[in-house]
């Protein structure tokens, strides 16, 4: 055994989160793509079988009340809330991330006031966020300006209505300074909207502590909710009475079964709902969140940093200068992934997958490796780097 292999064994033996791994369906593959799709929690299939056979098959329509289907969006939202640093009553689950970004940006622009005529968006954002922000700007009569997160403080002004930022850059894994940027946005009189897709379930967020106005996130990455599982929307309590959703649906009406022709929004985060919830995906997510029992986000963050530190050290040993890390080394600037640049990255990733190491590729030359501390081991980090070195020749 190499010294790195032995070190991995020592780290795994001392890992307080190691027992959580047994809560997932895993195999001999080194799975480092949880930043795209989390692994399956082992108990979810039985839960969904019960939902389909008993709640749908036997109770049928009665399950909206007797099985708690109707209240699922808020109930599950309250389970996600502590994972992103929010008190109950501020997170609602439903729709996709894209739809929730649209709700949040349009609502933020409306709350900011007509005199504020510009929306800022992260220049390196996931493309859909940019598309949605552009559409929201057109619909609200604002202009849209793309800036990097570092440029935000200087770009803010009396015309700024809202700023849409990514907490973690999806390409590089760079963690942006949510507290400082939110404070700067508020000092300019604008509203902060954060996309938490690559941070929720991977690191502390502190939505309440830092006064974030609105936030969205997906649940199929570090929250392991399953492919296409519904996203979440956070609306700070102080803003809920003013939250004016651009998608008013019957599910967010104060009297949803009143069938009134005029819209009267429900109080609280419920007004973030739109139409009938996707119950099968939603209850799969609810079951998946059981893996967090007894697990704190601070412990997850500590292991994440240890895993990515160790992986980078292993990559330096096994791959040397054949790859270049584009992920920051500073802990305060790193999410829970490592992105490496190399030649022919697309082909390299295909060969890695054939060799039993699953990450993903982002054009033109980036290999992404996502580390989910709930189930990723240090031995897997060492093996992945060793296989990468072999693939690179």
Secondary structure of the chain in the HEC alphabet?
A: CCHHHHHHHHHHHCCCCHHHHHHECCCCCEECECCCCCCCECCHHHHHHHHHHHHHHHHHHHHHHHCCCCCHHHHHHHHHHHHHCCCCCCEEECCCHHHHHHHHHHHHHHHHCCCCCEEEEECCCCHHHHHHHHHHHHHHCCEEEEECHHHHHHHCCCCEEEEEEECECCCCCEECCHHHHHHHHHHCCCEEEEECCCCCCCCCCCCCCCCCCEEEECCCCCCCCCCCCCCEEEECHHHCCCCCCCCCCHHHECCCCCCCCCCCECCHHHHHCCCCCCHHHHHHHHHHHHHHCCCCHHHHHHHHHHHHHHHHHHHHHHCHHHCEECCCCCHHHECCEEEEECCCHHHHHHHHHHCCEECEEECCCEEEEECCCCCCCHHHHHHHHHHHHHHHC
**Residue 84 has which token pair?**
């992103």
**pLDDT reading at 1 higher than 80:** no
126 is catalytic: yes
Tens digit of each residue's pLDDT (9 = 90 or more) over 289-304: 999 999 999 999 999 9
Q: What's the pLDDT at 222?
A: 98
| pLDDT band at residue 381 using 50, 70 and 90 as cut-offs | very high
285 pLDDT band (50/70/90 cuts)?
Answer: very high
The residues facing 31 across adjacent strands are 358
Average pLDDT score over residue span 103-109: 98
Q: Assign 22 a pLDDT band (cuts: 50, 70, 90).
A: very high
Q: Say if residue 111's pLDDT is above 80.
A: yes
Residue 311 annotated to the active site = no
Per-residue model confidence (pLDDT) at position 299: 98
Q: Quick one: which of 303, 292, 106, 84 has its CA closest to 197?
A: 84
What is the band of 391 on the pLDDT scale with cuts at 50, 70, 90? very high
Q: What is the pLDDT of residue 208?
A: 98
Average pLDDT over residues 142-169: 98
pLDDT of residue 72: 98
Which entry of 122, 169, 195, 278 is annotated as an active-site residue?
Answer: 195
Please say if 368 is a catalytic residue: yes
* Residues 205-219: tens digit of each pLDDT: 999 999 999 999 999
Kindly state the average pLDDT of the residues 14-24: 98
> Catalytic residue among 24, 31, 126, 311, which?
126
What are the tokens at 51?
């939902």
Structure tokens of 2? 């190499």
Q: How far is CA 53 from CA 73, 278, 280, 377, in A?
A: 21, 17, 12, 36
Closest CA to 360 of 351, 349, 348: 349
Residue 172 confidence (pLDDT): 97
Average confidence score pLDDT of the chain: 98
**Which is the catalytic residue, given 368, 369, 375, 378?**
368
Query: What pLDDT shows up at residue 154?
Result: 98
d(Cα 75, Cα 286) in Å, to the nearest integer?
9
- pTM (two decimals): 0.97
Residue located via tokens 């412990």: 299
195 assigned to active site: yes
42-80: per-residue pLDDT in tens? 999 999 999 999 999 999 999 999 999 999 999 999 999
Catalytic residue among 220, 234, 369, 375: 220
pLDDT tens, 340-365? 999 999 999 999 999 999 999 999 99
User: In whole angstroms, what is the distance from residue 306 CA to residue 7 CA?
Assistant: 12
Whether residue 122 is predicted with pLDDT greater than 90 in this model: the reply is: yes
Catalytic site residue 21?
A: no
Q: Is the pLDDT of residue 89 over 90?
A: yes
pLDDT at position 255: 97
Point out the catalytic residue in the list 21, 110, 116, 221. 221
Residue 314 near residue 67, CB atoms below 8 Å: no
According to the model, what pLDDT value does residue 39 have?
98
Whether residue 324 is predicted with pLDDT greater than 90 in this model: the reply is yes
């Amino acid at each position: 055994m190499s010294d790195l292999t032995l070190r991995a064994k020592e780290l795994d033996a001392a890992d307080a989160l190691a027992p959580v791994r047994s809560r997932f369906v895993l195999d001999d593959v080194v799975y480092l793509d949880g930043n795209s799709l989390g692994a399956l929690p082992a108990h979810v299939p039985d839960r969904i079988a019960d939902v389909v056979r008993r709640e749908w098959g036997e109770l049928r329509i009665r399950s909206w009340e007797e099985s708690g289907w109707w209240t699922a969006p808020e109930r599950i939202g309250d389970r996600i809330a502590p994972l992103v640093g929010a008190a109950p009553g501020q997170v609602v689950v439903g729709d996709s991330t894209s739809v929730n970004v649209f709700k949040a940006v349009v609502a933020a622009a409306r709350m900011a006031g007509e005199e504020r005529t510009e929306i800022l968006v992260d220049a390196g954002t996931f493309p859909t966020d940019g598309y949605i922000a552009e559409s929201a700007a057109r619909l609200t009569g604002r202009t849209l300006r793309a800036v990097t997160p570092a440029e935000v403080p200087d770009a803010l002004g009396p015309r700024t209505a809202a700023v849409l930022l990514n907490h973690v850059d999806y390409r590089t894994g760079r963690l942006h300074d949510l507290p400082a940027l939110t404070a700067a946005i508020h000092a300019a009189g604008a509203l902060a909207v954060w996309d938490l897709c690559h941070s929720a379930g991977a690191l502390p967020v502190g939505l309440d502590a830092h006064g974030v106005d609105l936030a969205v996130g997906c649940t199929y990455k570090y929250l392991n909710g399953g492919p296409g599982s519904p996203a979440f929307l956070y609306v700070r309590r102080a803003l809920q009475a003013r939250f004016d959703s651009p998608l008013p649906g019957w599910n967010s009406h104060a009297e949803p079964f009143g069938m009134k022709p005029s819209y009267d929004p429900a109080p609280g985060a419920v007004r973030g709902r739109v139409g009938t919830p996707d119950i099968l995906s939603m209850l799969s997510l609810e079951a998946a969140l059981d893996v967090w029992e007894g697990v704190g986000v601070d412990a997850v963050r500590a292991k994440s940093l240890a895993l990515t530190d160790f992986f980078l050290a292993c990559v330096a040993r096994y791959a040397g200068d054949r790859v270049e890390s584009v992920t920051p080394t500073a802990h305060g600037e790193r999410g829970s992934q490592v992105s490496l640049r190399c030649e022919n990255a697309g082909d390299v990733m295909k060969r890695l997958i054939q060799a039993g190491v699953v990450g993903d590729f982002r054009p033109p030359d980036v290999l992404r490796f996502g580390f989910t501390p709930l189930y990723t081991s240090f031995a897997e980090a060492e093996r992945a780097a060793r296989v990468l070195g072999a693939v690179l020749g």
